[in-house]
Structure 1
Amino acid sequence: MREEILKELKRLENQHEIKILLAVESGSRAWGFSSTDSDWDVRYIYVHKLDWYLKIDQLKDNQEEILENDIDLAGWELKKALKLFRKSNPPLLEWLRSPIVYKDEYFFSELLREMSKEYFNSQSCMHHYLHMAEGNFKAYLQKDLVRLKKYFYVLRPILACDWILNNNTVPPMEFQLLVDSELKEIEIKVIIEQLLALKISGEELDIEPKIQVLNDFLKAKIVFYSNYLKLNKNVRTPDTERLDMVFKQTLRVAWEKKEV
C-alpha cells in the first residue's frame, strides 16, 4: 500500500503543480489500533509556486480526495499550515510526530518540530482534546448499548489531556504510549488492553452494553478538565515574523531548481 500512496502523492504534485513537504499517516493506523478494514488516512502539507501566491484573490488552501482503494487524502497549503501552527493546532502537531511517514522534504518538518517547543500552547491543545472527548462521549456512549470501538475516540483525547497536564509537551500519536505513560488505574487499564487486543486482532467491536466503570472514569475526567481549563488561562502572543521567514525559505528551497 505504501507504493500506491507514494504514487498518489506524486500524482497530486503533477496535477496541481505543488510540492508536498510532508505526508504522514493519521487516524487509527498511526494511533496503533487499526483493524484489517481500516482506511489509510494520508495527511500532507504542500506548497505552490510563487505565482499562485501573487494574486489578489484568496485561493483554496486545502485539498481532499477519497479514493476507491481506501486511501483518504487530505492536505493543507503551507500558509494555512503555518497559521494553524501559530495557534498550536493539535492535528498539525500530531502530523509532525506521526510514526508513519510517507514523504518528508526540504527540512520543513524538522524545523517545525523544533519550533513547536516554543509555539506549543498547553491550554489551547487541552481545549481541543477535551472538546473531542466531550463530543464523542455525548454522541456515542450515553445509551445502554454502545459501539465498543467508540471508547477509543474518547479515551485517546482524555489521555492526551493527561499527557499535557503531566508533561507540558505535545502528546504522542501512539495510543499505547499514552496508556503506558498516563493510565494509573489498573482496572481501567485491563479493560482497555482487552478492547485493544480485540480491535487489533480484527474482531468487530460491535454494539454491546456500555462498560459502566469506563463511562464513570471518562465522565470524571471530562468534568476535571472542564473545571481545570476554567481556572487556567494561557494568554500568549506567538512570533509571526519567524513563521513568515519559514514560509519564504520553504517556498524558495522547494522550487529553487525550477522557475517560480
Structure 2
Amino acid sequence: MIELIKGKLNEIEEKENIKIIHAVESGSRAWGFPSPDSDYDVRFIYIRPLEDYLKLQPERDVIEWQMDETLDINGWDLQKALRLLYKSNPTLFEWANSPIVYKTTPYFNEVKKEIYSYFSCKSGLYHYLNTAHSNYREYLKRDKVRLKKYFYVVRPILACKWILDKKTPPPMLFSDLVREELDDRMKPVIGELLNIKMKSPEIEEGRRIDPLNLYIEENLEELKSVIDKYEKDYNNSWDGLNRLFMKGISLWNEG
C-alpha cells in the first residue's frame, strides 16, 4: 500500500502540475489504532508554478484525488495551509506530527521550525473540546452506541489535557496521550476497547459503557470551565509565513 500511495502522489504531481512538499497519514492509522479494514487517509501540502499565484482568477486551493473504501487522498495548496496556520489551525500541527510520512522535503523541515511559533493553546483547546462534544452528543448518549466513536471523544479530551499540561501540540499517537494523560482507573477500559477495535473489521453497535460515559461527561464539563478562562495566545505576525511562502513558490523555478 505504501508503494501504491507513493505512486498516486507522483501521479497527482504530474496530472495537476504541482509539487508535493509533504504527505502523511492523518487518520486512525496515524493515531495508532486502525481496524484491519481501515482506509488510508492521505493528506498533503503542495505548491503550484509561480504564474498560477499571479492569475486574476485564483486556482482552486484543494485537490481531492481519490475517495473510496481503501484510499482517501486530498491536499491543500501551500498558500491555504499557511493562511490556516496563521489562525493556528490544529490540522497543520497534526500533519506535521504524523508518524507516517509518505513524502517530505527539506523545505517542509523549515516550515516545521516556524509552525510551532503559531501554535495557540486556546485555539487548540477549543478545537479538541468541540470535537469531543459533538461526537459525544451525536453518537454516545443512547443505550446502544457505535463503540468506535469512544476514541473520537476520548482522544480529543486527552489532547486538551496534553495542551494544558505541556503547552504544545498534542502527539498523533493515541498511546502517547493515554500514557501521559489518561486516568489509571480508565486505562483497562480503554485497553479492552482498543483491543477489540484493532482486531475487528469494524466495531458495530454495543451497549453504552457507563463508566466511560461518566468519565467523558466529567471531563467535558471541567475542561470547558478551564478553557473559557484561558487567555488568548495568538501570534499575529505574518512575517514568517510570508517568508516561507515566497521561498516555497521559488522552489518551482529551482527544478
Q: TM-score range by the shorter chain?
A: over 0.9
Q: Counterparts of 1:210-249 in structure 2 under 5 Å? A: 210-249=208-247
Q: Counterparts of 1:10-29 in structure 2 under 5 Å? A: 10-29=10-29
> For residues 33 and 48 of structure 2, what CA distance do their matches in structure 1 show?
34
Q: Which ranges of structure 1 fall in alignment gaps of 5 or more residues?
A: none
Once the 2 structures are TM-superposed, how far is the Cα of residue 245 of structure 1 from its aligned partner?
0.8
Residue 58 of structure 2 is aligned to residue 58 of structure 1: yes
- Cα deviation digits, residues 14-65 of structure 1 (max 9, x gap): 1110000000001000000001110000000000001100112232101113
| 1:68 to 1:211, Cα distance in 2 relative to 1, 3 A | closer
| 1:158 to 1:202, Cα distance in 2 relative to 1, 3 A | same
2:116 corresponds to: 117
RMSD: 1.4
Residue 53 of structure 2 is aligned to residue 44 of structure 1: no
> For residues 225 and 253 of structure 2, what CA distance do their matches in structure 1 show?
48
- Cα deviation digits, residues 50-100 of structure 1 (max 9, x gap): 110011223210111334561100100000000111111111110001000
Q: Counterparts of 1:58-77 in structure 2 under 5 Å? A: 58-68=58-68, 70-77=70-77
| Contact 1:31–1:175 under 8 Å retained in 2 | yes
2:31 corresponds to: 31
Between 139-148 and 231-240, report the one with greater CA deviation.
231-240
Q: Counterparts of 1:106-145 in structure 2 under 5 Å? A: 106-108=106-108, 110-145=109-144
Residue 2 of structure 2 is aligned to residue 2 of structure 1: yes
The 3-state SS of whatever aligns with 1:199 is helix
The 3-state SS of whatever aligns with 1:107 is helix
TM-score, length-scaled by structure 2: 0.96
- Cα deviation digits, residues 132-182 of structure 1 (max 9, x gap): 000000000010111111100001100000000000001000001100011
TM-score, length-scaled by structure 1: 0.94
The 3-state SS of whatever aligns with 1:56 is coil
> For residues 162 and 252 of structure 2, what CA distance do their matches in structure 1 show?
35
1:255 corresponds to: 253
Amino acid at match of 1:70: T
| 1:243 to 1:222, Cα distance in 2 relative to 1, 3 A | same
> For residues 191 and 211 of structure 1, what CA distance do their matches in structure 2 show?
9
Between 224-233 and 242-251, report the one with greater CA deviation.
224-233
- Cα deviation digits, residues 100-146 of structure 1 (max 9, x gap): 000002421x2232223311100001100001000000000010111
> For residues 87 and 138 of structure 1, what CA distance do their matches in structure 2 show?
27
> For residues 19 and 118 of structure 1, what CA distance do their matches in structure 2 show?
25
> For residues 15 and 195 of structure 1, what CA distance do their matches in structure 2 show?
42
Between 37-46 and 110-119, report the one with greater CA deviation.
110-119
1:80 corresponds to: 80
> For residues 104 and 136 of structure 2, what CA distance do their matches in structure 1 show?
35
* Number of residue pairs matched by the alignment: 255
Amino acid at match of 1:79: Q
1:195 corresponds to: 193
| Contact 1:21–1:104 under 8 Å retained in 2 | yes
Amino acid at match of 1:191: V
> For residues 34 and 180 of structure 1, what CA distance do their matches in structure 2 show?
18
| Contact 1:106–1:254 under 8 Å retained in 2 | no
The 3-state SS of whatever aligns with 2:203 is coil
Amino acid at match of 1:220: E
Amino acid at match of 1:240: W
| Contact 1:32–1:174 under 8 Å retained in 2 | yes
